[in-house]
């Protein structure tokens, strides 16, 4: 068993060394939903390493869509504020297939898409308590150009395997750098 594991690690490392790698990233914002009761506005940074080119129009990449969300409310009887502050940290690690626009830094096709799978961690803290969740995650999105802006729209879902059962969904609008 140790020999098979070592062989798999060395083979994977060899493929990475021989690959034509490139770096892509984007920034954006959106909404994260945690469990049935909380949604929070989120800032997002998405770095990815394109590890394998497939023809001129597609790549396989490994990356993340790191999200930081917060909602700060003060308790105020005149405005009806509940005083519940909320912070959320979302950290998925995904392997993705990218096609068309933005599949590599040089690809400027009119339209592109991506689809990926991996795992994620999520930490949510509300005034008076906190919970973390983890599990498999999938996401998909499109990339397009409006005027001179290189944009993308992404949706994702993480199934929580922890005892908290706080499944996580995300929707992001991205600016591709």
Q: Where on the phi/psi map is residue 83: left (φ > 0), alpha (ψ -120 to 50), or beta?
A: left
- The pLDDT of residue 79 is 45
φ/ψ (deg, to 5) at 163: -70, -15
Q: What is the mean pLDDT of the chain?
A: 86
| Residue in this structure with the two tokens 């790549």, named with its chain if needed | 59
pTM of the full predicted structure? 0.81
Pick the CATH number of 20-176 from 3.10.310.10, 2.40.160.20, 3.40.1000.10, 3.40.640.10: 2.40.160.20
Specify the higher pLDDT residue, 68 or 3.
Answer: 68
Q: Give the mean pLDDT of 2-30.
A: 70
CA 174 vs CA 25, 110, 112: distances in Å: 10, 16, 13
User: Is 76 a residue whose pLDDT tops 60?
Assistant: no
- The pLDDT of residue 126 is 80
Q: How far apart are alpha carbons 162 and 160 in whole angstroms?
A: 6
- The pLDDT of residue 146 is 93
13-22, 44-53, 154-163: least confidently modelled range? 13-22
Give residue-wise pLDDT tens across range 164-177. Answer: 999 999 999 999 98
């Amino acid at each position: 068993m140790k020999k098979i594991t070592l062989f798999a690690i060395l083979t994977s490392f060899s493929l990475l060394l021989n690959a034509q790698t490139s770096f892509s990233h984007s920034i954006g914002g959106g909404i994260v939903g945690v469990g049935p009761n909380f949604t929070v506005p989120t800032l997002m940074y998405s770095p990815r390493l394109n590890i394998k080119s497939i023809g001129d129009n597609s790549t396989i990449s490994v990356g993340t869509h790191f999200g930081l969300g917060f909602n700060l409310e003060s308790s105020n009887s005149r405005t009806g504020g509940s005083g519940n502050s909320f912070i959320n940290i979302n950290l998925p690690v995904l392997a993705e297939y990218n096609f068309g626009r933005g599949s590599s830094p040089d690809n400027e096709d009119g339209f592109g898409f991506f689809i990926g799978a991996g795992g994620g961690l999520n930490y949510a803290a509300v005034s008076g308590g906190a919970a973390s969740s983890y599990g498999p995650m999938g996401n998909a999105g499109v990339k397009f150009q409006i005027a001179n802006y290189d944009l993308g729209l992404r949706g994702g879902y993480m199934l929580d395997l922890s005892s908290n059962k706080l499944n996580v969904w995300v929707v992001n609008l991205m600016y591709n750098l």
